[in-house]
Amino acid sequence: MRSRLFAPLCGLLVVSGLSGCAPFMGGNLPPRSTEAQQQLYAIKAWTLEGRIAVKSGNEGWSANLFWEHDGGQERLRLYGPFGQGAVSIILQNQMIYINEGNGVVNSSRDPEELLTRKLGFSVPLGSLRYWVLGLPAPDISYQAELDDKGGLKGFQQQAWVLGFENFENVGNFVMPQKMTIQGSQVRLRLVVDEWVFKN
């Protein structure tokens, strides 16, 4: 059963411009030098604005997404048109807070358990913060899929499969603009409309 937490966001697939949740096919990230990758890993503050579609079992929903990474803190905001159905998620020092926007704030030292309880599935937010940049999470083994020019088509890490399509130049970086993140029971599709690096 879909969590009531995201009931106001359900049915927004058409509104938010994400038709369905099929995986992206093809696409590759242009080769990055080791130096460029290290610069991306070193960025301490960034924001992205975009749209996300989630498919879990026979149910799905989509929403606008604002994500701010600042040091060791992740702040995500999911919302429909005109801010309706807004839900805020904060992850800081392995503590997660979910604000449903009606005065109800849930917190836990077990982010995956709380996400599962509230969303019906969990996603490793600590790793996701790197994945959206087109990077594998550091210090965790992964398997990359490269094209014949050395470009990154995707990779597998922590039992999740990532695929990239469409990229854009943001300052000195080439950043993913569309991606899918596939787990055993859930698939996320993310379209980034704007990247901002703060340092």
First to last CA, the chain: 42
Q: Which residue has the higher pLDDT, 105 or 37?
A: 105
Q: Residue 59 has what pLDDT?
A: 86
Confidence of residue 90 (pLDDT cuts 50, 70, 90): very high
User: Does the pLDDT of residue 20 top 80, yes or no?
Assistant: no
Q: Residue 33 has what pLDDT?
A: 55
Q: What does CATH list as the number for 4-191? A: 2.50.20.10
Confidence of residue 82 (pLDDT cuts 50, 70, 90): low
Write out pLDDT tens, residues 173-193.
889 999 999 999 899 999 999
Percentage of the chain lying above the pLDDT 90 cut: 50
Please provide the DSSP assignment of the chain as one string: ---GGGGGGTT-TTTTT----PPP-S--BPP--HHHHHHHHH--EEEEEEEEEEEETTEEEEEEEEEEEETTEEEEEEE-GGGTT-EEEEEETTEEEEE-SSS-EEEES-HHHHHHHHHSS---HHHHHHHTTT-PPTTS-EEEEE-TTS-EEEEEETTEEEEEEEEEEETTEEEEEEEEEE-SSEEEEEEEEEEEE--
Mean of all residue pLDDT scores within the chain: 82
Span 17-30, average pLDDT: 41
Write out pLDDT tens, residues 132-169.
999 999 999 999 887 777 777 899 999 999 999 888 99
Confidence of residue 34 (pLDDT cuts 50, 70, 90): low
Instruction: Note the pTM of the prediction, 2 decimals.
Output: 0.82
Confidence of residue 94 (pLDDT cuts 50, 70, 90): confident
Please state which of the ranges 31-45, 114-128, 160-174 shows the lowest mean pLDDT. 31-45
